[in-house]
Amino acid sequence: MLTSKTLAVNEILETSFPKSDDLRNQPKSIEILHYLSKKLDPERLDHVISVQETAVKLARYHNADVWKVNLAALLHDVAKWMSDDQLYKAVSRFEIELDPIEKTMPALLHAIVGVKNAIELFKVTDLDILEAIRCHTTGNASMGLTAKLIYVADFAEPNRLYKEAKQVRQVAEEDLNQAVHWVAQHKIGFLLQNDGIIHPNTIHTYNSTFPNLDRYKPKR
């Protein structure tokens, strides 16, 4: 049940920040959505809209720049329509250096090529937005606020059917680092259960957000 305090906070959040719909009606958002609606299948497009709504809502709770979060969310899967072959060709065209694990995992490449697409197609130069696109699959130990919000929203948007999505959404409003930690934990668990390769950045994300990390420091 919503308490009067929660209702008051929600009212302030609703009135003092732009709404998801308003953000989607910005000229840059319209341009990106026009592109995505031609390139992505309807299910993927629904996912992107849902990530945008989830990330913008969380941005309000964490006092983030909603304009940046909006664009980062809309762009995070901008290269998701590309086949593995197209992604590897784009990696070559953009002269991107892949690490040994990225070379073997085409599923990671849309985040890397997506950064180049955002710059080339939409003239996005904001480093927070580009970092969020780049990190949305593996995470990174040094993610900024925008990147953390997209990492969490991508995993936990309401169209995601696994039970962990709801748990992460619930904790994300109160404690974003805990939410990032759980996302990394769930991804690592899934990959272990399915004999998948774990990118080191996912492990770094998990370790860097460990609650009470201090208790693991050696005692002097």
Give the binding-site size for Fe ion (rule: CB under 5 A). Answer: 2
User: Can you give the C-alpha Rg of the chain in angstroms?
Assistant: 18
SS3 of residue 87 by DSSP: helix
Stretch that binds Fe ion, among 69-77, 117-125, 178-186, 199-207 (CB under 5 A): 69-77
Residue 77 interacts with Fe ion (CB under 5 A): yes or no:
yes
Q: Which is nearer to Fe ion, 73 or 176 (CB)?
A: 73
Nearer to Fe ion, 54 or 220 (CB): 54
Token pair for residue 81? Answer: 């329509």
Nearer to Fe ion (CB atom), residue 76 or residue 181:
76
What is the nearest approach in angstroms of Fe ion to the Cβ of residue 107?
8
Q: Are 29 and 19 in contact (CB under 8 A)?
A: no
Shortest separation between residue 44's beta carbon and Fe ion, angstroms: 8
141 touches 201 (CB < 8 A): yes
Nearer to Fe ion, 128 or 154 (CB): 154
Angular region, 82: left φ>0, alpha ψ -120 to 50, beta rest: beta
Neighbours of 202 (CB within 10 A): 20
User: At its nearest, how many Å lie between Fe ion and the CB of residue 188?
Assistant: 17
Give the x/- contact pattern for Fe ion in 139-178, rule: CB under 5 A: ---------------x------------------------
Phi, psi of 141 (to 5 degrees): -65, -25
102 counts as binding Fe ion under rule CB under 5 A: no
Residues 6 or more apart whose Cβ sits within 8 Å of residue 30: 24
Q: Site residues (CB under 5 A) for Fe ion?
A: 77, 154
